[in-house]
Amino acid sequence: MHHEHHLKSSDTIRDIVIGMSDGLTVPFALAAGLSGAITSSNIVVTAGIAEIVAGSIAMGLGGFLAGKTESDHYASELKREYDEVERVPEEEKFEVKEVFAGFGLSKQLQNEIAEEMAKDKDKWVDFMMRYELGLEKPEANRASQSAITIGLSYIIGGIIPLSPYFFIKDSQQALYYSCAITSVCLFVFGYFKSKVTGQPAFTGALKVLIIGALAAAAAFGMAKLINGGKL
């Protein structure tokens, strides 16, 4: 039997990817930068936790606003489509015909489908939203769910590079363990992200790892230069 395999990446997966990618990278770069300037892990932990809290709130708020904007935009366009099928039904029928003309249907079929669809106003409007405007109805409470998912993912990602500093007092020694742990997590995260999005898994994993490593190296090097130390 023939089985089709299609990617069905949900909004939740997208939110996890957004939160985790920034959560792994930003606190890692911050911890590396501080480790290049100070030797106390306590300061790195304090600054790191503050950044994770602030970052998770900021990222969550961004997700909420994006979700709210999407819902508001959909509601506005839905209202406009209902208004148009009331005021200018013939023009809306013509737009339906144009959609099916693009699929190569005959004029007769286009007219029949448009007339049949016009009998049910709700389905007619739903069709126009999907195929004329390319808009899908957002899930209920999408904005709140997005905010929570992104915020929690950021916290989980941020704790990983910070974890060695909880147990090792010397920040530069802790940085070695942080680099090792975070590098593995970045690679694994990049691998699964690429698998979910249908991209080459190994290449995607390397890209995520390199970006995280470059961010941390740049922060560490800048801290060393500012403090007049040697790299």
Task: List the structure tokens of 52.
Answer: 């994770």
Predicted pLDDT at 5 = 45
Report mean pLDDT in 10-residue bins for the chain, 231 residues.
49 82 85 85 92 92 87 84 80 80 78 79 81 75 87 92 91 89 86 76 83 80 69 45
DSSP 132: I
Which residue do the tokens 């936790």 mark?
49
Predicted pLDDT at 154 = 92
Question: 139 CB contacts (<8 Å, ≥6 apart)?
Answer: 11, 145
Quick count: other Cβ atoms within 10 Å of Cβ 84? Answer: 15
Task: List the structure tokens of 220.
Answer: 């560490």
Contact (CB, 8 A) for 154 and 59: yes
For the entire predicted model, the pTM comes to 0.75
Coil, strand, or helix at residue 223?
A: helix
Question: 4 CB contacts (<8 Å, ≥6 apart)?
Answer: none
Predicted pLDDT at 7 = 45
Predicted pLDDT at 228 = 63
